[in-house]
Amino acid sequence: MALFPGSVAFDEYGRPFIILRDQDRQKRLTGTDAIKSHIQAARQIASTLRTSLGPRGLDKLMVSSDGDVTVTNDGATILKMMDVEHQIGKLLVQLAQSQDDEIGDGTTGVVVLAGALLEQASNLLDKGIHPIRIADGYEMAAALALTHLDSVSEAFPVNKNTRENLIKVAMTTLGSKVVVKCHRLMAEIAVDAVLAVADLETRDVNFELIKVEGKVGGRMEDSVLVRGVVVDKTMSHPQMPKVLRNVKLAILTCPFEPPKPKTKHKLQVGSADEYRELRQYEHDKFIEMVRKVKDAGATLAICQWGFDDEANHLLLAEGLPAVRWVGGPEMELIAIATGGRIVPRFEELTPEKLGSCGLVRELTFGTSKEEMLVIEECSNSRAVTVLVRGGNRMIVEEAKRSVHDALCIVRSLVQDSRVVYGGGAAEASCSLAVSAAAEKLSSLDQYAFRAFGDALEAIPLALAENSGLSPIDALSEVKARQVAENNPYLGIDCMSKGSNDMKAMNVIESLHSKKQQIALATQLVKMILKIDDVRSPADSIE
Amino acid sequence: MVSLNPIRILKNEAEEEKAEVARMSSFIGAIAIGDLVKSTLGPKGMDKILVSCGRNSGQVEVTNDGATILKSIGVDNPAAKILVDMSKVQDEEVGDGTTSVTVLAAELLREAEKLIEQKLHPQTIIAGWRIASDAAKQALAEASFDHQKNLNEASLRVDLENIARTTLSSKILSNHKEHFTKLAVDAVLRLKGSGNLKAIQIIKISGGLLEESFLDEGFLLNKKVGVHQPKKVENANILIANTPMDTDKIKVFGSTIKVDSMAKIAELEVAEKEKMKDKVNKILAHKCNVFINRQLIYNYPEQLFADAGVMAIEHADFEGIERLGLVTGGEIVSTFDSPDKVKLGHCKLIEEVLIGDESLIRFSGVALGSACTIVIRGATQQVIDEAERSLHDALCVLAATVKEPKVICGGGAGEMLMAEAASRAGARTAGKEAAAAEAFAVALRRLPSAVADNAGYDSADLIARLRAHHSRGENTMGLDMQNGTVGDMKKLGVTESYVVKRQVLLSAAEAAEMILRVDNILKAAPRRRGPDRRPC
């Protein structure tokens, strides 16, 4: 048995040198073993996700440690909820997470690609190529693939007139999700939401302005885009009006409660007179608070804190509807939407600081009388809320995630309007370009190039497999046609529509997302290939 | 040295089930849940006893309501959990059809299992289901009818009575369904189309017979009048309040009382009393002769009220207060400085009544007649509880129907109709989806078949006859469970709410689709905690 560097060494009497503390109780993997074990782990995770890829991919059912059930198709969510222990697994979880944070879509793809790259690396390792050489080769191949993607990308104008095209893009993203039942509706909601908040001049979309709310019950078809803010609260007093028009909102972060100084203090009541005085003071304070709000011209008070019973009734008596216990983020959204200022003290309330909106109404759901408050026709109509409905909790949660993905993809188009074509077309085209470049290289790198090209095929292969096609047949046909017709828009015909032309079928993905996928996956693979020694404490059970 | 040890990716106790195994586990779970509640379906369905363990161990509940059964059994299978959740949502959304929706989803999955065995791709099955459910939805909408055109009280009433009778006939109340149908319809009609079920209060008092349950025109409050106060008030002006009447504390934060002699304490006590007395005087200044508070009323103010000859009722619950506000048209008051601005509630007569051995306060002759109270009597707590649940279902369905006055034929006619449409849609479809659409139709037909089975009739024969009728376009034909034959449901007056039926169809299809899409189950390591004592 070969002696690994740093493992047990013996002196001339056969006694071991102890170099590391507790080394006999630690698990250790070195050299090719380590890499091989990592590759295998990554492949296992990738194979779990592989079946979720594409419009005919299937979902995963996750049971959390508390027994809660989640059904999802979103790579990042699956990995997040998977109880991963393996160190490489954790890296992959982070990879999907960073794709999710950066782009929001394509999280499954990036993991599948990383898995495929590692699988190919394993073959090269068997040939005796040094992992660093593989890593460097991958790096160069990735750079080539990225420039190739640039060359096959097309400009995709985004403005108010291209709503239709954007909807088609959103539909591609949603194609793999459970919401395909009302495909078009969801895509429209996502596009309209992004267009409502997008700043087309600076190519910026502020996601803070889009809130995705879910409410169990009803049908998925009932999902709507509310041009305003939805707050899961009701009027503080049951007899306040349920519908308000031309509202002036006072947005308060001070409670309608007796004043409570922040410094520590002691108020002592020494005599009956003082007691009466205090009582009067308290009484006047409430009247004063309500008066201040009323005087500023507000017709609706939105408050972050609670109300005292007395204050509540005074508000009703003064005909001033109010909402209490509104959360911080909602307060901000309301402030943005209505153009009001958040006021921390009653004294600072002035008419200019009030927000305004056209309509405030209460929505009622179902038999159990759940209510939500909708603030619409705001002066600044940029804040929007997507209200998702569905038959059960899991479906609403999944629909929310899907809408989020669609929002992300539309946003990335607003930010960088170049697109590539989906259905594996871009990957197949890159694969061809990388393989062609491999022949021209004189160094060892050509093996890594070829491997990279093969790995890129993993995505169209998985797509074809999930769609029930014969993967190799479908892919080789696409590749052959891409070369013969010099048309990089040919991909896998997942939905059996009879055409491979992804451009004609409007299967579009953003260039940014695709580039990010390749870059992130390559980066991670490089990192994994460079690890040659793992130490971990032995299992606690052993 | 290549290690042969398997590489473990997930945590120690985490599990992963893949492909066929995962699918099988979700099918088995879902079908088991469906079979569990299947026997409660229909007018001759049976009830279940639920024995609780844990804190209130040994308590017995007898029920026929799908949602209640599913809520109480602790399921562990993830697919089963999806179905339970779905039935809960159905309960919240429309109130009835909780059993049907579960059975339909389970039957869909049972059919899907067969198709998967024939190597059909789950997505293909889903595509087929979509075709079928769209067709079914459309057929259902076309077959629904309403009396909107010639809407008058009488025909609406007939419609509602039919629906209530159909809903109640599968419950414990079926023997008294005429009685309860009248109760439920009266109650809902009093709402005058608002559909606000909050205004209907259900009070349960054990003892007596189910037939002795009644609808009270006014409002009953399960509270007592304070001592020495009038027990009966005519032409009452009611002040409804939510204010502390124990000791009216000073709320300014951190106030403490520090005195240096006993005499001063006495002074303060007087001041406190004075404050309370002022408050009572202010309340009396509203010229009310009845005062109802949500919070406690202590002895001292109670005595003051008694002196003034005002009836004071303490500690009414929050819903009761809201309902009272609704019924009497009063405002819920917390400050008492401007008596002229406050709207008082009015009613003709307030008196204490004795029902069984419980004394209640009855408000009759209320200004806004929209609210009412249903008193349920029954021999045992279980019977009353189940009666309440059944009545709740009926009320929900009626309220939904008042909002959207569309009805369809019951007795399985709706399901047969949808099945017929689904199978026609399947026949028109070219491709593998056709098989799935046909499976959808088969699953729909299982519902009436379960109804017939539960009644002990030959379901195969009945369903076949029914199918023949429907294929001839007689889409009002359904199962007549009284005589064990098929009959025209329109003539028999067996109708169901369109909204409920549609929700059943869509929810079940959605949930079944969701479960079918799963090809991998990942279970996280369960959190360590004490032994699970929930019912299972």
Contact A85 B12 (CB under 8 A): yes
Q: What is d(CA B171, CA B391) in angstroms, rounded to the nearest whole number?
A: 9
Q: Closest CB to A269: pick one of B10, B255, B514.
A: B255
User: Cβ contacts (< 8 Å) between B519 and chain A: which residues?
Assistant: 51, 58-60
Rounded to a whole number of angstroms, the distance from the CA of B335 to the nearest CA of chain A is: 6
Which residues lie closer than 8 Å to B440 by C-beta, 6 or more apart? B108, B111, B128, B129, B132, B133, B136, B419, B422, B426, B509
User: Cβ contacts (< 8 Å) between B325 and chain A: which residues?
Assistant: 238-239
Contact B93 A365 (CB under 8 A): yes
Which residues lie closer than 8 Å to A150 by C-beta, 6 or more apart? A418, A511
B152 confidence band (pLDDT: 50, 70, 90): low
Q: Which amino acid is at A438?
A: A
Return the percent helix, strand and coil in chain A, to nearest 5: 50, 20, 30
Which residues lie closer than 8 Å to B248 by C-beta, 6 or more apart? B272, B275, B276, B279
Best of B252, B275, B518 to mutate (most A CBs within 10 Å, chain A): B252
Rounded to a whole number of angstroms, the distance from the CA of B458 to the nearest CA of chain A is: 34
pLDDT tens-digit profile of B315-371?
667 677 777 777 777 777 777 777 767 777 778 888 888 777 777 888 877 766 666
B232-241 vs B332-333, strand pairing mode? parallel
Q: What is d(CA B159, CA B165) in angstroms, rounded to the nearest whole number?
A: 10
Cβ(B136)–Cβ(B426) below 8 Å = no
B298: left (phi over 0), alpha (psi -120 to 50) or beta: beta
Which pLDDT does position A381 carry in this prediction? Answer: 66
Please confirm, yes or no, whether B401 is among the known catalytic residues.
no
Catalytic residue among B393, B401, B453, B495: B393
A342-343 vs A243-252, strand pairing mode? parallel
Contact B341 A238 (CB under 8 A): no
Cα A261–chain centre separation: 41
Contact B255 A365 (CB under 8 A): no
Q: Which residues pair with A243 in a beta bridge?
A: A361
Look up residue B462 and give its two tokens.
């009945």
Contact A395 B325 (CB under 8 A): no
User: Cβ contacts (< 8 Å) between B520 and chain A: which residues?
Assistant: 48, 51, 58, 60-61
A355-365 vs A243-252, strand pairing mode? antiparallel
Domain range annotation of chain B: 15-146+409-517, 150-200+375-404, 219-368
Best of B520, B521, B527, B529 to mutate (most A CBs within 10 Å, chain A): B520
Lowest-confidence region among A65-74, B276-285, B364-373, B435-444: B364-373
User: Cβ contacts (< 8 Å) between B250 and chain A: which residues?
Assistant: 269, 275, 278-279, 282
DSSP letter for each residue of A49-109? HHTT-STT--EEEEE-TT--EEEE--HHHHHHHS-B-SHHHHHHHHHHHHHHHHTSS-HHH
Contact A83 B14 (CB under 8 A): yes
Q: Which residues pair with B36 in a beta bridge?
A: none
Q: Could you tell me what percent of chain B has a pLDDT over 70?
A: 89
Contact B518 A58 (CB under 8 A): yes
* Mean pLDDT, chain B, integer: 81
- Is the domain defined by B219-368 classed in CATH 3.50.7.10? yes
Q: Which residues pair with B50 in a beta bridge?
A: B61
Contact A260 B253 (CB under 8 A): yes
- A210-216 sheet: strands from edge to edge: A210-216, A384-390, A224-226
Q: What is d(CA B474, CA A163) in angstroms, rounded to the nearest whole number?
A: 47
Rounded to a whole number of angstroms, the distance from the CA of B37 to the nearest CA of chain A is: 19
Please confirm, yes or no, whether A107 is among the known catalytic residues.
yes
Any idea which architecture B15-146+409-517 has in CATH? Answer: Orthogonal Bundle (1.10)
Burial (CB count within 10 angstroms: exposed 0-12, middle 13-18, buried 19+), residue B354: exposed
Best of B246, B251, B324, B403 to mutate (most A CBs within 10 Å, chain A): B251
Cβ(B287)–Cβ(B340) below 8 Å = no
Which pLDDT does position B246 carry in this prediction? Answer: 67
How far is CA B474 from each of CA A392, A433, B109, B220, B493, rounded to the nearest angstrom? 35, 65, 29, 48, 16
User: Cβ contacts (< 8 Å) between A281 and chain B: which residues?
Assistant: 252
pTM beyond 0.90, yes or no: no
**Number of cross-chain residue pairs from A and B with Cβ atoms under 8 Å apart:** 253
User: Cβ contacts (< 8 Å) between B92 and chain A: which residues?
Assistant: 216-217, 366-368, 370
Please confirm, yes or no, whether B385 is among the known catalytic residues.
no
Residue of B nearest to A35 (CA): B2
Please confirm, yes or no, whether A74 is among the known catalytic residues.
yes
User: Cβ contacts (< 8 Å) between A36 and chain B: which residues?
Assistant: 2
Contact A317 B242 (CB under 8 A): no
Taken in order of first residue, the domains within chain A and their CATH numbers are 25-153+419-535 (1.10.560.10), 227-379 (3.50.7.10)
Give, for all 542 residues of chain A, the pLDDT tens digit: 444 555 566 778 877 776 666 666 666 777 778 888 888 888 888 888 888 887 788 888 888 888 788 888 888 888 888 878 888 888 888 888 888 888 777 888 888 999 999 999 999 988 888 888 999 999 999 999 999 999 888 887 777 777 887 888 788 778 777 777 788 888 888 888 888 888 777 777 888 788 888 887 777 778 888 888 888 888 877 777 888 888 888 888 887 777 666 666 667 777 777 777 877 787 788 888 888 888 888 888 888 887 877 777 778 877 888 888 888 888 888 888 888 888 888 888 888 888 888 888 887 765 555 678 888 887 776 788 888 887 778 888 888 888 888 888 888 888 888 888 888 888 899 999 999 998 888 888 888 999 999 999 988 898 888 887 888 998 898 889 988 888 888 888 877 777 788 888 778 888 888 898 899 999 999 988 888 887 776 654 43
Q: What is d(CA B138, CA B425) in angstroms, rounded to the nearest whole number?
A: 11
pLDDT tens-digit profile of B492-521?
888 888 888 888 898 898 888 888 888 888
Rounded to a whole number of angstroms, the distance from the CA of B248 to the nearest CA of chain A is: 10
Mean pLDDT of B41-61: 79
Q: What is d(CA A129, CA B325) in angstroms, rounded to the nearest whole number?
A: 83
Catalytic residue among B40, B98, B373, B495: B98
In this structure, is the dihedral angle defined by the CA atoms of residues A478, A479, A482 and A488, taken in order, positive or negative?
positive
Rounded to a whole number of angstroms, the distance from the CA of B17 to the nearest CA of chain A is: 10
Rounded to a whole number of angstroms, the distance from the CA of A367 to the nearest CA of chain B is: 5
Q: How many CA atoms lie within 13 A of A113 on its CB side?
A: 32
Termini Cα distance of chain B:
49
Question: In this model, does residue B221 exceed pLDDT 80?
Answer: no
Q: Closest CB to A59: pick one of B197, B257, B518.
A: B518
Which pLDDT does position A138 carry in this prediction? Answer: 92
Q: Which residues pair with A508 in a beta bridge?
A: A421
Do you know the residue count of chain A?
A: 542
Helix (H) or strand (E) holding A323: strand A322-323
User: Cβ contacts (< 8 Å) between B268 and chain A: which residues?
Assistant: 269, 271-272, 275
Which pLDDT does position A538 carry in this prediction? Answer: 60
How far is CA A209 from each of CA A98, B447, B484, rounded to the nearest angstrom? 22, 46, 61
Look up residue B47 and give its DSSP letter: P
Mean pLDDT of B99-113: 92
Which residues lie closer than 8 Å to A485 by C-beta, 6 or more apart? none
Which residues lie closer than 8 Å to A113 by C-beta, 6 or more apart? A455, A456, A458, A459, A517, A518, A521
Contact B251 A258 (CB under 8 A): yes
DSSP letter for each residue of A14-31? SPEE--STTGGGEEEEEH
Residue of B nearest to A69 (CA): B78
Q: What is d(CA A511, CA A522) in angstroms, rounded to the nearest whole number?
A: 17
Q: What is d(CA B322, CA A290) in angstroms, rounded to the nearest whole number?
A: 23
Q: What is the CATH number of domain B150-200+375-404?
A: 3.30.260
Look up residue A403 and give its two tokens.
């809408």
User: Cβ contacts (< 8 Å) between A87 and chain B: which residues?
Assistant: none
User: Cβ contacts (< 8 Å) between B532 and chain A: which residues?
Assistant: none
Look up residue B351 and give its two tokens.
């008196």
Residue of A nearest to B333 (CA): A313
Cβ(A36)–Cβ(A125) below 8 Å = yes
The interface predicted TM-score (ipTM) is 0.77
